A and B are shown apart, each in its own frame.
Chain A
């Protein structure tokens, strides 16, 4: 409460309290801004949350520190819009619980001590048990240059054999599907395709909540499009759609095959395209004979009428685009499901033209960077570890000795966890991710982590679920406290600038990698890896001749001036002084990245879910994003008071009202959700937006993955978060907490 002698007037129209809300022209094209936070200058940054890759204008004070931000109207991705996370992007940086020094067993130590410990412990494990006993788990949240540094440092510098990223949890399926079908991990679209489509089919995707700024494009579509959402739940996007197909969970592959069969029967195949640009269609058509809608559609829970409406829309649409997200990627046969979507686009010739495509919407801000540069699932730059020619090229581009590049790919995330559980991996380095919250079957994961000889977590916060289990915590600078590039869902490389000072001794991940290289004794190998932009030059070189060639990008300045640049941009693609087109899509010429230039039809018979419901566990548990104000394990979004207001304070279980009543559960009751793995508590929210005998929990609560099942798609090794069996019991009456 602010006291003060009141003015001797009857009505105080102005005064100190009123002036706190006075706005002033912000200049820099910002419009009116809060007077107290009027910027002295402005910098640009690509948002560090999701893969939409929005441009933000950061308002800086006299000292060059960020005081506020607004969405960038001139950035071609978001056109002046941001979701709540973007608006609040600066808040997590100023959180009072930032990690400010390295912590060894919870006690602050200096960097010298931390580095000696880190190198000493890793070296001991590697010397005693070999490089196979060490692993790192990376992230889609750091910059491409940092990812590249980490991957090469760990594998070529330190000799760690196994490394993977949290992108395994979100994008691995799209990678695997595109690689097999198109010959390279290559999402073909540009965001303009949302605006150019006649029919948009969203499969397992809720962009209204997960990618709100992309929905702007859908609503900006002037072609009066048919918007189809295939999702077990009536999501926000399903509400906004013209047609919602409430599919039975994990019958998507079967459904897509039924749809393909129907399209063939209806004569909707683009024969000319299929013959000129694809291979394997005849086998696919033969395979589909077992998927006649009249025989199989019933299993998907979708009525004939809606099914035919969808088939008709696809048949009638000149430009049909297919979009998928985690509902597809996080399934037990996810790669085939993604490829079933790709097959639909290929057989109807809906690819390479405006408003078409089989399009995976990515998750994290730099999942796409991770896919190209993390040196985990492929050798840096989309190369093959096993190919000596590739190893030689990469070594040359990155200025590292060729014999230091491993010839085999390390284990995927799930295998790394298995190896830890079995005591074969003994040292783990986790960077910018929170596996102790986000990985499936959490109790097993945590139990495994506790067996490690050495566990190091590198993060902005020392209190994440994972950092709390670590022997050593390395304090990292966050987005906004460093610079580098991200690659968004539409392959757009954007640059993010340093606009804030990191607290205490926190260092950019890039700096930490430099430090480790030095302490490990391999500093010389990375002598030229002095700054993110220097590494960006090497990344340009490493992509030369690849589908993702970015040799034509002059540097960060060009990225900033152009509003980001999509890959590929080969050297010579644009004349000096010219800009590349703002929106570019792949495959306009019908040439794919396979050796024969043809896209492949890939198919496989659907399998039953790993854990079907039964009498004891009669509900299907679905998990997913809760609100647009929440990001993954909430280590950052949880720091913003305004974002916390935008999601439920407690964990809510969505359950159908009739199922709830049958179990004596009323709105607001505390319930137990029990799987074969664990039992957790939640508050019941009765809603008919979930189907009968299905329940939904948001993934942001730390308890939810205690329930989920250790099961992965065999091709992509991505966890099947989207289906496990649970039962629900009432715990006690109404909780008004």
Chain B
């Protein structure tokens, strides 16, 4: 037992042990001060055969090669990418997904995926500020982090779900194939960390990149987008046959996409303004259109992670529909003001408005997302342009009630068949609309229909209801636009 003098002793042992615990590990002092030995390449010569000895020649580029027979789902590549690149908490530029057999075929295959450093990168084509750069000598698609304005359009454009928005920094970041490591003769993080040597860097001829993929279809893997869109440089190889009916494990479970509230506001307001410019003749209407258009264009700025850098948004005009849309708005809003002031004919502002709406349509149609096919987006955007303006004007001009109602009904009629479509590429969007978005999808039609019906009797209530329906339509436009992606996990 502890004696009376023990209290002091006891406390002192606690203090002693706490001090010992807080001390730097003595072992560290003794063993860690290794000499600066550059001769030890990481993992020795282990991965020498996994990276090319030379740089790509003309017409060639680097590409990932994934041996599926060696990918067994350990996911070390994901964790190593995170650690070796010093990325944020849950940030990694590699993912591991899963392909599975059908009901009668016990079969599965894990799939490691990262940026495919496409020969024709859709991210770069869509970027309004040229924040993507495809290196000529290596074909690596680099992202210029300081150039990025955080508009996220590359996320919509990439059919492989590669660029990821980094909220903390207000920009997008993505895989750079560890170009700094490759320059130093070292393998990328994922290549050097795969215990099974499933990932390698190979030199691939750019001309072949649109050619057939290993499993017969012109897509990287089942469920992936047609490779002719971006011509990805990754190759998936396997000596084993893939059974019929293989599908991504997450194929039946799409997640609702981002809502992008500023874009919802922007699209509705600018389309409303374009419609008012087309149908409105009196200055008050045109001033309202100008204010609405300006508000819409302004809303889009809220969408940016780096708004101060947005002044460069014209840089991408040669290829980027987003750049063109911004330029078109830049012309449209002043044109509305000029028309309202009587300096130019209202019809000129109307034309500028329609051009802007066309650019908006193309921004989404150009992403190749099935839900955003050109006819579907055009029907929605031009439909809103016409129907919203007419229902609004019907509040002050009763003669417009019937055309407004017809336009509103026509728009609803265009949207209605989506769930009945047999187009398999729409299935994921249909799942979203039937399940997680079911309530809003129904509410959208209830609001739209009741708004259309009420227009003659109670035009203001009719307009507001129809507007509410349009807002829901536009939220669903984003949320149900299931993106193309590589096979995901569960």
Q: Which residues of A contact B (CB under 8 A)?
A: 1-7, 10-18, 20-23, 25, 27-37, 41-44, 60, 63-64, 68-71, 73-74, 78-84, 87-88, 110-112, 115, 208-209, 212-213, 215-216, 219, 234, 236-237, 239-240, 246, 477, 481-483, 497-499, 501-502, 505-508, 511, 514-515, 518-519, 521, 556-557, 560, 627-629, 641-646, 648, 652, 657-658, 667-668, 685-689, 733-734, 736
| Closest residue on chain A to residue B15 by CB atoms | A111
Report chain A residues within 8 Å CB of B75: 83-84, 627-629, 646
Give Cα distance in the complex from A436 to B82, angstroms.
33
- A sample of 28 cross-chain residue pairs with beta-carbon separation below 8 angstroms, ordered by A number, consists of A2-B168, A3-B308, A18-B146, A28-B34, A60-B28, A64-B28, A64-B32, A73-B42, A78-B195, A79-B43, A84-B79, A87-B79, A87-B82, A219-B197, A239-B72, A246-B106, A482-B21, A497-B25, A497-B28, A501-B21, A507-B18, A511-B20, A627-B75, A642-B90, A646-B78, A657-B103, A689-B108, A736-B255
Q: Mark B155-194, 1 if CB is under 8 A from A, else 0.
A: 0000000000001111101001010110010100000111
Q: Determine, out of B53-61, B94-102, B115-123, the stretch whose residues face the partner at the interface.
A: B94-102
Tell me if B11 is interfacial: C-beta within 8 Å of chain A. yes
Give Cα distance in the complex from A35 to B84, angstroms.
10
Cβ contact of A17, chosen from B105, B146, B180, cutoff 8 A: B146
B79 and A642 within 8 A (CB): yes
A234 and B106 within 8 A (CB): yes
Report chain A residues within 8 Å CB of B36: 27-28
Give Cα distance in the complex from A239 to B43, angstroms.
28
A112, A641, A645 pick with most chain B CB within 10 angstroms: A645
Knowing A14-B146, A60-B32, A216-B196 touch, does A29 contact B171 (C-beta < 8 A)? no
B contact patch SS: loop
Tell me if B430 is interfacial: C-beta within 8 Å of chain A. no
Report chain A residues within 8 Å CB of B101: 688
Cβ contact of A234, chosen from B22, B80, B107, cutoff 8 A: B107
B82 and A688 within 8 A (CB): no
B489 and A32 within 8 A (CB): no
B89 and A642 within 8 A (CB): yes
Tell me if B113 is interfacial: C-beta within 8 Å of chain A. no
Report chain B residues within 8 Å CB of A477: 21
Give Cα distance in the complex from A63 to B253, angstroms.
48
Having A74-B40, A79-B46, one finds 11 other A-B pairs with CB under 8 Å, namely: A17-B171, A25-B184, A27-B38, A29-B39, A32-B184, A44-B31, A73-B40, A73-B42, A87-B82, A628-B76, A629-B79
Knowing A112-B10, A686-B103 touch, does A83 contact B41 (C-beta < 8 A)? no
A215 and B72 within 8 A (CB): yes
A696 to chain B, nearest CB (A): 13
A87 and B146 within 8 A (CB): no
Give Cα distance in the complex from A658 to B173, angstroms.
42
Number of interface residues of B (CB under 8 A): 103
Give Cα distance in the complex from A307 to B361, angstroms.
62
Tell me if B70 is interfacial: C-beta within 8 Å of chain A. yes
Report chain A residues within 8 Å CB of B257: none
Give Cα distance in the complex from A678 to B197, angstroms.
44
Cβ contact of A36, chosen from B14, B86, B256, B435, cutoff 8 A: B86
Q: Determine, out of B271-279, B309-317, B327-335, the stretch whose residues face the partner at the interface.
A: B309-317
> 3 tightest CB-CB pairs across the interface, nearest first?
A34-B86, A29-B40, A498-B25
Knowing A112-B10, A505-B18, A668-B252 touch, does A31 contact B41 (C-beta < 8 A)? yes
A689 and B106 within 8 A (CB): yes
Tell me if B300 is interfacial: C-beta within 8 Å of chain A. no
Give Cα distance in the complex from A736 to B432, angstroms.
9
Give Cα distance in the complex from A502 to B89, angstroms.
21
B175 to chain A, nearest CB (A): 11
Report chain B residues within 8 Å CB of A687: 100, 108
A642 and B92 within 8 A (CB): yes
A32 and B186 within 8 A (CB): yes
B18 to chain A, nearest CB (A): 6
A519 and B10 within 8 A (CB): yes
Tell me if B130 is interfacial: C-beta within 8 Å of chain A. yes
Report chain A residues within 8 Å CB of B255: 736
Report chain B residues within 8 Å CB of A84: 74-76, 78-79
Report chain A residues within 8 Å CB of B146: 7, 12-18
Report chain A residues within 8 Å CB of B74: 83-84, 208-209, 212, 215, 628
Q: Mark B380-402, 1 if CB is under 8 A from A, else 0.
A: 00000000000000000000000
Report chain B residues within 8 Å CB of A70: 42, 83-84
A80 and B130 within 8 A (CB): no
B25 and A483 within 8 A (CB): yes
B195 and A6 within 8 A (CB): no
B20, B74, B75, B305 pick with most chain A CB within 10 angstroms: B74
